Amino acid sequence: MRVMILGASGLLGKELVREWRGAEIFAPSSHDVDIRDAESVRDAVLKANPEWIVLTAAYTDVDGCESNRELAFAVNRDGPANVAAAGAAIGARLLFLSSDYVFDGTKTSPYETGDRRNPQSVYGRTKAEAEVKLFEVMPECCIVRTSWLFGIGGKCFPDTILKLAASRPALDVVNDQRGSPTYAVDLANAIIHLCQNDAHGIVHATNADNCTWFDFAQEIVRSAEATTVVRPVSSGQFVRPAPRPAYSVLSPDSLHAFGIEMPSWRDALSRYMKQQEN
């Protein structure tokens, strides 16, 4: 299998390159391929001639998207449309990474793949509009929604908590936003499996079980055997430019349909902590 990974320098992209076995991998950097440039994308795709394109490249600064709307839509909506068009031209398949932020967070039970998109932030709108565009350009594409991504080698919630816990006696963490932390290693393996099984349509892929950010932070601090006290607070005490979904747990049914079971987030965090030690 010939696979092109766009966004290979990110948390997920790095793990895809590490974990993918038995495939010929093309992983150009963002300097080599700017997905906002349709011609650049077309040339790179033609040169690589992949069977699958996995697109993880994105502008993921959720608050930054609020003040940089033009850039956010150019990278997160128009860029994927450029990639889909280039892929469709040579008959390649596309897997696009999307987000729980396409939902408004008003449900109290896990979101299904067919639930109505109703994003509340600019970032969420860019992802939601990208999904619509991709199905127009390439109806057989696969869109993988995930949430709360963490991993080695980049900025993520556990890394931030560990650094803060090393220097502070107490941390305040919001306790009224619930989702599913997702380990980049586990997500990469799920994506590989989906590509190998010619997946199409929307798939929700997160580690099993769910928690609040406060719960997650507590478990991180406990795992690190730190003495830092983690205190629960409300989102209202941490006003940020972009609204976050209060509840964004994604149903695993679509993932299970492909025979994929992802471990619990606690199991994933334990492996992440061991990776940190190495």
Considering 59, 101, 111, 123, which one is annotated as catalytic?
123
Asked if the structure places residue 104 within a domain, the reply is yes
Mean pLDDT of 1-25: 96
What are the strands, taking DSSP E only, across 23-100? 24-26, 52-55, 93-99
Asked if the structure places residue 97 within a domain, the reply is yes
pLDDT of 29 reads: 85
Residue 278: pLDDT band by 50, 70, 90 thresholds? confident
Residue 238: pLDDT band by 50, 70, 90 thresholds? confident
Check whether 30 has a pLDDT greater than 90: no
Check whether 101 has a pLDDT greater than 90: yes
* 60 CB neighbour count, 10 Å cutoff: 20
Residue 6, judged by CB atoms within 10 A of its CB (0-12, 13-18, 19+), counts as buried
* 167 CB neighbour count, 10 Å cutoff: 7
Structural domain boundaries enclosing 87: 2-155+180-209+249-262
pLDDT of 5 reads: 98
172's enclosing H/E stretch is: strand 170-174
Q: How far is CA 278 from CA 88, 168, 234, 238, 270, in A?
A: 42, 24, 35, 34, 13
Check whether 41 has a pLDDT greater than 80: yes
Contact assessment for residue 29 and residue 7, using Cβ atoms and an 8 Å cutoff:
no
Residue 239: pLDDT band by 50, 70, 90 thresholds? confident
Asked if the structure places residue 234 within a domain, the reply is no
Question: What CATH code is carried by the domain that includes residue 40?
Answer: 3.40.50.720
pLDDT of 49 reads: 98
Q: How far is CA 87 from CA 5, 95, 225, in A?
A: 12, 11, 48
Contact assessment for residue 269 and residue 183, using Cβ atoms and an 8 Å cutoff:
yes
Q: How many domains does the chain have?
A: 1
Asked if the structure places residue 175 within a domain, the reply is no
Asked if the structure places residue 51 within a domain, the reply is yes
Whose CA is closest to 146, among 169, 127, 166?
127
pLDDT of 205 reads: 98
Is 123 in the active site?
yes
pLDDT of 277 reads: 79
143's enclosing H/E stretch is: strand 142-146
Reported as a single tens digit per residue, the pLDDT across 148-166 is 999 998 899 999 999 999 9
Mean pLDDT of 124-142: 98
Asked if the structure places residue 215 within a domain, the reply is no
Asked if the structure places residue 18 within a domain, the reply is yes
Whose CA is closest to 196, among 51, 43, 46?
51
Q: Which of 104-118, 133-147, 178-192, 232-246 has the lowest mean pLDDT?
A: 232-246
Asked if the structure places residue 173 within a domain, the reply is no
Which pTM was predicted?
A: 0.97
